[in-house]
Amino acid sequence: MKDQDQPLISLKKIGKVFQTDEVETHALSGIDMQVRVGEYAAVDGPSGCGKSTLLSLVGLLDTATSGLYEFKQQDVTQLSLSRRARIRNREIGFIFQSFNLIGDLTVQENVQLPLSYRGMSSSDQKKLTDDALEKVGMTHRRRHYPAQLSGGQQQRVAVARAIVGKPSILLADEPTGNLDSKNAEAVMKLLAELHREGATICMVTHDPRWVHYADRTVHLFDGRIVAEDETVEAS
């Protein structure tokens, strides 16, 4: 089997229930989904349909109430907190709607931060950081702070931070949600370029303008997958 045919992510009958004060909310129900190596998958649907909950489960930021989650053919459903943290650091790159940059760290320090938990040498950390900043076109802003950057520039730095450790998959949660249309388009083109270079991407969005960038779109409604389409020719 070729790597591209293997499921990097495999969700089987995944359910997520939130309980508060005797109120039970079924955020996800019976989710069957795979993301293959090298694929660009989009998950779309209206606000509140469970998209971000699904991405949190895939990113090991939360655990499912029921079902099986396999990452690289290994069951990660019941991993310890430390094992989950290790996989997140080494295998998963996160891109958030709100950028989530640390205000009192420079661009370079923000991008380098995930590497500092790996026990790498300073020289290796610097090389990977330099490569990531160059890839997103932000080398010239390396000594600036987030408050000195536009929204589009902050999201580029966030993308650099996500890719700096060469993760197996990039998870993008509404990556254009806080951007104007011009900067949003630029970020989507950047993700498309990363995909052409081999990145595996799973993106959630409620904006139909962006799903054509993906190879495949999974449509979510009320916590269930209601349809799935493949893009004939992804941009």
Is the pTM for the entire model greater than 0.85?
Answer: yes
Given 3-state DSSP classes, what are the helix, strand and coil percentages for the chain, each rounded to the nearest 5?
A: 35, 30, 35
pLDDT in tens, 80-106: 999 999 999 999 999 999 999 999 999
pLDDT > 90 fraction of the chain, expressed in percent and rounded: 85
SS (HEC) of 136-149? CCCHHHCCCCHHHC
User: Is 212 inside a domain boundary?
Assistant: yes
Q: Quick check: 234 pLDDT over 70? A: no
User: Is 56 inside a domain boundary?
Assistant: yes
Assign residue 138 the CATH number of its domain. 3.40.50.300
Neighbouring C-alpha atoms within 13 Å toward the C-beta of 18? 8
User: Please, which residues have CB within 8 angstroms of residue 165's CB and are 6 or more apart in sequence?
Assistant: 89, 90, 93, 114, 115, 118, 128
pLDDT in tens, 132-164: 999 999 999 999 999 999 999 999 999 999 999
222 burial type by CB count under 10 A (0-12 exposed, 13-18 middle, 19+ buried): middle
| pLDDT, mean over the chain | 92
Q: Quick check: 107 pLDDT over 60? A: yes
Q: Which residues pair with 7 in a beta bridge?
A: 36
User: Is 43 inside a domain boundary?
Assistant: yes
Query: Domain residues for 199?
Result: 39-63+80-230
Q: In total, how many domains does the chain have?
A: 1
